[in-house]
Structure 1
Amino acid sequence: MAVELALSAETVRMIVQKSRAVSESLPDTYEDGHEGDLSFDSDKLENAHQHDGLAEEEHDDFSAAELKEIIDDLNVDEATELVAITWIGRGDFERADFHVALSEARERATSPVASYLLGLPLLPDYLEAGLEALNL
């Protein structure tokens, strides 16, 4: 039997898709889990501070901002359920403890939900596992 939520499973799946797109757009600067080696050209270091203003990389990918906006637009009950689904998917709670996870999420809500969730590198995996555990 599936758990009844204020948040639709379709919305959670959309958040999964967007969060996957965000994580795929991040540059992969490490290979095989090791930090890349740094080497400096001593000739270039001498003139390192000479530049024509700040060069900023522009991105046309607004998926991270869109994802944050989607999560920020959830009402309190929906946001709480999203956190509980994440925790179940991460293995912090079992399916039978969904209401306990909801209660904990309400009690521990001290920062914006979007900031908390977007800080989890495996968010899409946790949400998918949570949906599956809850038969949604």
Structure 2
Amino acid sequence: MPELAVSREKVSFLIEKAHEFDVKDLPVDEESGSNPSDDAEVNVLQDDGCDSVAAEMASFIRALNEDEQIDLVALMWLGRGDGTIDEWEDLRSQAAERRNGYRNPRWETVRYLLGEPLLGDLLAEGLDKFGISWVDEAPTP
């Protein structure tokens, strides 16, 4: 079984934060006098750059070392089904190659990961393929 450069605790933290990010609610404007059926349901979640969970995740990922960032991307790909556990070294090599192609690897890796829908679920699935349960070591709020 291959080894991960990023710890289960770090991945668990990101899974928790990604799940928090995925379940954001719309801001409620009690004074609007409108409802979704009247306004063609135009109120949607928008990223206005002020999301504290996204900022926390970005800061956390940016602080990881290069090997940890590479493993995080490869782990997400593994969870997405882009390869198998037997192809881990290939996934990791592809992630490293992609990262090396970035002009600003730390920032662009963050942008890439945070742009992936269901990031938390994919990371959890990737850990599962390693036989690691992220729930056992989930951080407490």
> Partner letter of residue 75 of structure 1?
N
The one of 83, 89, 95 aligned to 2:79: 89
Instruction: Give 2:119's aligned residue.
Output: 123
SS in 1 for 2:23: helix
Offset, 1:37? 2.7
SS in 1 for 2:3: coil
- What corresponds to 2:7 in structure 1? 8
Per-residue CA shift, 1:67-119, capped at 9, x if unaligned?
A: 10000011100000000000000000101001100000011122511100100
The one-letter amino acid paired with 1:128 is A
Q: Deviations over 1:3-31 (max 9, x none)?
A: 32221011101100001111112539xxx
Q: Distance in 2 between matches of 1:93 and 1:86?
A: 10
Q: Which moved more, 1:108-117 or 1:63-72?
A: 108-117
Query: Counterpart in 2 of 1:75?
Result: 65
Give the Cα–Cα distance (whole angstroms) in 1 for the partners of residues 11 and 81 of structure 2. 18
User: 2:40 is matched with which residue?
Assistant: 37
What stretches of structure 1 move > 3 A for 4+ residues in a row? none
CA deviation vs aligned residue, 1:34-87 (integer Å, no higher than 9, x gap): xx8369xxxxxxxxxxxxxxxxx9x6x511100100000111000000000000
Separation (CA, whole Å) in 2 of partners of 1:105 and 1:11: 18
Unaligned ranges ≥5, structure 1: 29-35, 40-56
What is the CA–CA distance in structure 2 between the aligned matches of 1:37 and 1:82, rounded to whole Å? 39
C-alpha separation in 1, matches of 2:52 and 2:41: 30
Identity of aligned residues (%): 37
Aligned length: 109
TM-score normalised per structure 1: 0.72
Amino acid at match of 2:7: S
TM-score (norm 2): 0.70
